[in-house]
Amino acid sequence: MNDQPHAAGATPLARARALQPLLAEAAPRIEQERALPPDVLAALHAAGMFRLTMPRELDGAEVAPATLMQITEALAEADASTAWCVGQAAGCAVSAAHLSAESARRLFGTPEAVLAWGAGASGLARPVAGGWRISGRWMFASGLRHSTLLGGHCPVAEGPDAPVITFLFPRTAAQVTDPWRVVGLRGTGSDSYAVDDLFVPEDATLDRAVPAPHPAPLYRLPLIQLYPGAFGGVALGIARAMLQSFMALATEKTPRGLRRPLAQNAAIQSLLGHSTARLRAARALLLTTLSEMYAEFEAGGALRSEHALGIRMASTFAIQEAVAVADLIYHEAGASAIFDANPFERRLRDIHAVAQQVQGRRANFELVGQHLLGITDGPLFV
């Protein structure tokens, strides 16, 4: 695994874990402000959390997908919005490996460089001398508020089958709106933005659906395939934090009408054992899937459809199992769980916000089943 030590000697995963006390303290502020505050951003930049998947020549870490998953998991134990922003930025940052060395340095060469973009293709791009003129509107740009760059995915012709290119441009070139009034993951500040007839030079474009033309093993995986593992890690981290908080509560809480603490209840003991097994099994499947794929990349192999489908299956399973465990824990915590001062209510909202994203939808299993049955005319999204 490419989990190389930082200049200070710690690996990216160790640096992520070291951020947990700061993030846990800042979590209420992050939610209230609906953005990552300056002190949190400074710590994330200092720890290299926005350069995890950039090439090493840009002071990036080129972490393996399984390491990225463990990083978002560790961050989510303290604050889910921060973990989500780091996972989103990691996928976007692979853009640097698609660009020429000169263009990558121009766009990503400053220490504070962060790229964010919204979901889906929008608008239209038309070729002009030296580049393109693009117009479009995008939603759900997690991390937009601390980004320096934005990306817009635009079709380059009319029609449903038109090719889509990603265009990179300064955040200051976009018109930003703030519709992010949501149940969970409030701190991601996932705003909307638009551009109208904006010029983008040819060397600031890429196709995010294909591997980058960079020799490092990480870039044999299209960047859109990094998101499922990263966001699966977010869900697992939230659920594990809820489970740990419940175990602490169980030792001290005696529910009204009962004579013994929750910890001495056989039903609670069984639930904890079963929930722990579910989380560990889901985590193991996701880690194994990502690790086995990356081992093939390191041996010179290329991306196969089984890789993409395996990631989709394992990440969706991890998210769904994490949500199920979180729901059980929340219920068994009783009235203690409904107070925002206790460590359950916000995490329940956050994990359900994670599950509402495309990576968590149960329909993803349909695509896996179609592949197993040899059916090839199903959904295209993997």
What confidence score (pLDDT) does residue 251 get? 92
What confidence score (pLDDT) does residue 381 get? 56
pLDDT in tens, 153-205: 999 988 888 999 999 999 999 999 999 999 999 999 999 999 999 999 999 99
Residue from 170, 227, 223, 209 nearest 193 by CA: 170
**To 5 degrees, how large is the angle CA 59–CA 11–CA 299?**
80
State how far the Cα of 271 lies from the Cα of 328, in Å rounded to an integer.
8
Q: Quick one: CA dihedral 31, 36, 42, 46, positive or negative?
A: positive
pLDDT in tens, 70-108: 999 999 999 999 999 999 999 999 999 999 999 999 999
What are the tokens at 308?
């993409």
Do the Cβ atoms of 239 and 278 come closer than 8 Å? no
What are the tokens at 382?
């993997």
State how far the Cα of 30 lies from the Cα of 272, in Å rounded to an integer.
30
Above 80 in pLDDT, residue 306? Answer: yes
How distant is the alpha carbon of residue 221 from its chain centre? Answer: 16
Q: Quick one: CA dihedral 343, 346, 348, 354, positive or negative?
A: negative
| Position 256 confidence tier, pLDDT thresholds 50, 70, 90 | confident
**To 5 degrees, how large is the angle CA 141–CA 145–CA 146?**
110
Above 60 in pLDDT, residue 344? Answer: yes
State how far the Cα of 216 lies from the Cα of 253, in Å rounded to an integer.
52
Domains (range + CATH), the chain: 12-108 (1.10.540.10), 115-206 (2.40.110.10), 217-372 (1.20.140.10)
What are the tokens at 22?
């700061």
Above 80 in pLDDT, residue 376? Answer: no
